[in-house]
Amino acid sequence: MVPRPLACGVVGDRAVLVLPWLALQSGGPGWAELGRGLAGLHRRSQGGSPGPGFGFTSDNFIGSAPQKNGWRAGWADFFVACRLAPQLAMAEARGDTYPGAAELLERIPRLLQNHACEPVLVHGDLWSGNAGLLENGGAIFDPAAYWGDREVDLAMARLFGGFPTTFFSAYEAAWPLPEGADQRVPLYNLYHLLNHANLFGGSYRHQAQVSIDRLLAVVG
């Protein structure tokens, strides 16, 4: 499911990663296998975090944008400090502001207070362009990996479309999501909307603001 690296190294000031060529298909029955495979990846990594809770051993990237990591004992703390706050800081540096964002950051612990999750290894950037079907299943690649709530991968898979219901049904059958998962989707996808707004501008900024407003309305 995850391509195995063939080689890696540094050439001049560039890092090099060599991966096998995958003959990706445009359609087929592999979506269910991909859903089951993602559930298996999440489940097998449960309890294996190398740090004290949620995070990663170093900062990395989501697309071309820097992604802050480090370690936090609590999921809500990590999501605020290492996901939303850095994106909002990047937006402010560009001259963009989001009314209500600071208030939302303060209220996120309340949004997540009844959600108990264990850190698993997540892809972190699971849109349809970072997944593909093979003759015998599927593959995911180009991750922005960290140890987080498994729901973030399922949430982003819904954000831009491209994943059929068979993918989600197969995941759910292999490892059912906890109560309230659907309500957490907008919160988790706010990170990606802010990132896209910082990278590409345009309508993503409006979508991020709408999401902030709706989340504030929910939390009260």
Cα 72 to the chain's mean position, in Å?
17
Are 174 and 163 a contacting pair, CB within 8 Å? no
Active site residue 125: yes
Of 13, 59, 96, 125, which residue is the catalytic one? 125
Task: Give the catalytic positions in this structure.
Answer: 125
